[in-house]
Structure 1
Amino acid sequence: MRYVLLPVVLIALIFALGNVVLFNALPKPDRLKEPLALEYGTSSEQFRRDMGLLLQQPIVSGNRIDLLQDGEAIYAAKIEAIENAEHSVTFEVYEYWGEQAAIFSEVLARAAERGVRVHAMLDFLGSRDADPEMFERMEEAGVELVRWREPSWYQLSRFNHRTHRKLLVVDGHTGFIGGANVADPWVDGDDRDGYRDNHFRIQGPVVGNLQAVFLETWLDATGRMPTGEAYFPELSDMGDRDAQMVNSAPREGRHRVRLMFLHAIAAAEEHITIGTAYFYPDPRFLEVLEEAADRGVRIRVLVPGDSMNFGFFRHASVNRWRPMLESGVELYEYHPRMYHSKLMAIDDRWASIGSANLHNRSFRLNDEANLNIWDEGFAREIRELIEVDKADAERLTIEDWENRPLRRRLAGWITHLIGPYL
């Protein structure tokens, strides 16, 4: 009998594995497949109105946003905020390991020991290299710790879903968002230069929306929903910037960042300036950039060069650049060190900062969080921030593209086969 059952069991296992790959490893559908033909641009109030309603996220006035550059400054500001916490700390991050994670673990543990309600959500894959003693230290101190998306037999359909957010909210009134994880590559070492990255400290009413994004995922992970003044205090105006918190997740009705970027690009009137660590969007997204260039919008995209931490990814991306180069899109490769920023500025009117890269994983497989800002001064600052780094980058021409070594072409072609799943 067991010999009869063996083929049946084998077929069942193959079928189960096929379903896991089909419904999880593959990226989710594109959703928006038709071009956005807008009758307005970023200078129109209609652009702001549509973005608020289509993304189902309010645009909130009265916010202050401070730039933090590179790991040491980013970590120092976050640690100071946690050390001054009185009521609550909510913390969500993708990569978490090494000496820097050990420092954060101790700071979070001490906050919990003095009575602060501390909730930490670490992506399981992104924290796989962390010393287990860090987790023990935090849990023994009273930190509520979740390692999100730990592989399990009853969640096989989500094993490729990650939280890629980098959120910290302290006492419900001070928030942090941006590109930096908590790991050693973000600071200088004996054998490395720290990653080039940007993070932002947020104060004002929109911090409540950052908190809501974290707690939505916390509810998914734990079935619990912390509420009250410790998490949602009354928030006063702290500045003059209008901001919109946008969360995106690999679940029905929550794929938002791709639509957000496509809408903003379609509304561009003069220029689009982008800084992104991973630039591998789907073909339709690339066509939208080309269409913007064809209508006279100047487009500049800054990406990592030889220092990229995933070189294979870079080659796959470069293989698809020729149509953009021919349409006039300016592509720059940053070589001094790993460029890890995620920034977009359009027409000196609108900017987006946060965790989302321009690739399929951010669009369809990750939990992401971005903050959009409607402020001419801030959008100009983001554009200029990218331009400063662009001064240390090399522009890629069509001639450069055509003269790439054969080994890079082959590496890019091979990687292209799995690019949508990275």
Structure 2
Amino acid sequence: MADPLDEVVPQPGAHGWSPEEGRRHEMKGPFHLPKGPDGFSFVLFQSTGVSLQPGHRVDLIENGAVFERMLEDIRKAQQSIHILVYIWRPCDVSDRFVEALRERVSAGVKCRVVVDPVGSEEVRGDKDFDQKVEQRLTECGVEVHYYRPLAGKVLGRLLGRTHQKLVIVDGHIGYTGGFGIWKVWEGDGLEPEQWRDTHIRVEGPSVCQMQLAFSRAWQESGGSLLHPEDLPGPREPGSVRAGFIASAGKLGMTDAERMVRIVIGTARKRLWIANAYFTPPNAIMEQLIHKAHEGVDVRILGPGPVHDVPIIRASQRATYAELLRAGARIWEYQCSMMHAKTLLVDDWLSVVGSTNFDALSLNKLGEGSMVVADEAFAQKLEQGWHRDFEHSREITLATGGTTNPWRRLARRMTQLVGQDR
């Protein structure tokens, strides 16, 4: 019987790729990975230190429904509530979280919040979170810290943010995805001011890894060490295999990029990518093109006319021509800002989290993604894709898939943040 790891080899000469070009990248490619969850788990572990552990229960949650589920869990908390978010701004959703946390503090639950100031206030030049949210939280006993305040710092500090989205209850229930605590994440993603997004609720061993990701951000933000009761032993409420990949920006290849490249390499039949900021680095573009040439069903779903960062949309569109010529298919979501960050591979592997397909997310930001090996979960994610197709426009070379000087310039500019390694 052949060793499955014999398949983990580069493919020199395939579709323009050469050994000389491959040596420029720390993880050479294109490449194939072993079939199935066991082989994938082993490769993921040797690259990121995280393997797929059994014992999970996972729930896919779309759009604003995530808030009601979170608040339901928060109101039942007995020990601790930990929240780490990039965006928290004053709104009705914020008010509901403040009230739920106030009630739990009064019941003796430790409530800790870390907010990134870039997403929440400082770059926008106002103090809405400070004056309208933080003050209310601290007055009722919630401990609040900012992650890497910007005062007096250089550009590297501006880029080195945490983009993670984590809500962890009692060390046993965890949430991640694309959410922020702000009004645009309410609703069903079918109106311009209601963003389309995908999230995951997790119970099981990986919640400990989510808690550790929060703890690292908490310590760096001035918080004290957590107590042993904040890191309880794992429960195993289900049978799903999953792992949480936390990533931090650094010189060299991050765990976020390692995870993305391994997941892409695993695809044999299907590789569907929904991403809010789809402008992948060249090494990942090479992988996607190679997969499409191999006959893998490569599909990209990105934002359409409703986009919060126009230069990213232009950069996204600069990738279309190469991908379409290779055989990939591309859709743009029409109703609102498509903010999800998900991958669907074959019929068993899914990724849901905060990780974008751009150089900033893959090289500079703190990110987190849940990797799930489960056919039932993959089917639910696929169902969401088909609903999104109904509200999306397919792009072809004849209908907007070509590039132009502005798009090429935008792509060069968005790649610059990843060129320090």
Q: Distance in 1 between matches of 2:208 and 2:79?
A: 15
1:366 aligns with 365
Q: Percent identity among equivalent residues?
A: 26
The 1:45/1:307 distance shift into structure 2, 3 A limit, reads same
2:307 aligns with 308
Q: TM-score, normalised by structure 2?
A: 0.85
The reply to whether residue 69 of structure 1 matches residue 62 of structure 2 is yes
1:19 aligns with none
1:226 aligns with 226
Query: Are the aligned partners of 2:206 and 2:244 in contact in 1 as well (CA < 8 Å)?
Result: yes
Query: Are the aligned partners of 1:247 and 1:254 in contact in 2 as well (CA < 8 Å)?
Result: no
Q: Following TM superposition, by how much is the alpha carbon of 1:44 offset from its aligned partner in structure 2, in angstroms?
A: 6.5
The 1:403/1:92 distance shift into structure 2, 3 A limit, reads closer
| CA displacement, residues 139-166 of structure 1 (integer Å, 9 cap, x when unaligned) | 1222111111211336764222111111
Q: Distance in 1 between matches of 2:407 and 2:31?
A: 32
Q: Distance in 1 between matches of 2:209 and 2:201?
A: 14
**AA at the equivalent of 1:32:** E
Q: Distance in 1 between matches of 2:378 and 2:305?
A: 28
Query: Are the aligned partners of 1:146 and 1:221 in contact in 2 as well (CA < 8 Å)?
Result: yes
Q: Distance in 2 between matches of 1:254 and 1:414?
A: 25
The reply to whether residue 213 of structure 1 matches residue 213 of structure 2 is yes
Q: Distance in 2 between matches of 1:58 and 1:44?
A: 10
Q: Following TM superposition, by how much is the alpha carbon of 1:388 offset from its aligned partner in structure 2, in angstroms?
A: 2.3
| CA displacement, residues 83-139 of structure 1 (integer Å, 9 cap, x when unaligned) | 221110110011111312233233223322332111101111111053413111111
The reply to whether residue 197 of structure 1 matches residue 189 of structure 2 is no
Gaps of 5+ in 1: 1-29
| CA displacement, residues 248-278 of structure 1 (integer Å, 9 cap, x when unaligned) | 0113578111111111212211110111111
Q: Distance in 1 between matches of 2:401 and 2:100?
A: 51
1:150 aligns with 149
2:254 aligns with 255
**AA at the equivalent of 1:415:** A
Q: Following TM superposition, by how much is the alpha carbon of 1:235 offset from its aligned partner in structure 2, in angstroms?
A: 3.2
Q: CA RMSD in A?
A: 2.3
Query: Are the aligned partners of 1:105 and 1:135 in contact in 2 as well (CA < 8 Å)?
Result: no
2:11 aligns with none
Query: Are the aligned partners of 1:300 and 1:331 in contact in 2 as well (CA < 8 Å)?
Result: yes
Q: Following TM superposition, by how much is the alpha carbon of 1:33 offset from its aligned partner in structure 2, in angstroms?
A: 5.4
Q: Following TM superposition, by how much is the alpha carbon of 1:223 offset from its aligned partner in structure 2, in angstroms?
A: 6.0
1:96 aligns with 88
Of structures 1 and 2, the larger Rg is shown by 1
Q: Which residue of 410, 416, 419 maps to 2:411?
A: 416
The 1:156/1:336 distance shift into structure 2, 3 A limit, reads closer
1:321 aligns with 320
| CA displacement, residues 288-312 of structure 1 (integer Å, 9 cap, x when unaligned) | 1000111111101111111122233
**AA at the equivalent of 2:157:** R
1:117 aligns with 110
Query: Are the aligned partners of 2:192 and 2:306 in contact in 1 as well (CA < 8 Å)?
Result: no
Q: Following TM superposition, by how much is the alpha carbon of 1:337 offset from its aligned partner in structure 2, in angstroms?
A: 1.5
Q: Distance in 1 between matches of 2:236 and 2:247?
A: 26
Q: TM-score, normalised by structure 1?
A: 0.85
Q: Distance in 2 between matches of 1:378 and 1:75?
A: 20
| CA displacement, residues 389-416 of structure 1 (integer Å, 9 cap, x when unaligned) | 1232111111123677xxxx45424433
The reply to whether residue 34 of structure 1 matches residue 33 of structure 2 is no
Q: Distance in 2 between matches of 1:136 and 1:253?
A: 39
Query: Are the aligned partners of 2:61 and 2:201 in contact in 1 as well (CA < 8 Å)?
Result: yes
Q: Distance in 2 between matches of 1:193 and 1:221?
A: 32
Aligned length: 385
The SS at the match of 2:84 is: strand
Q: Distance in 2 between matches of 1:248 and 1:275?
A: 20
**AA at the equivalent of 1:89:** I
1:16 aligns with none
| CA displacement, residues 173-228 of structure 1 (integer Å, 9 cap, x when unaligned) | 11111111111112259x85411112121112221221111112222222632031
The SS at the match of 1:182 is: coil
Q: Distance in 2 between matches of 1:265 and 1:335?
A: 26
2:45 aligns with 52
Query: Are the aligned partners of 1:204 and 1:236 in contact in 2 as well (CA < 8 Å)?
Result: yes
1:289 aligns with 288
Q: Distance in 2 between matches of 1:285 and 1:332?
A: 19
Query: Are the aligned partners of 1:63 and 1:243 in contact in 2 as well (CA < 8 Å)?
Result: yes
| CA displacement, residues 26-62 of structure 1 (integer Å, 9 cap, x when unaligned) | xxxx963531433x44336322211122111232211
2:5 aligns with none
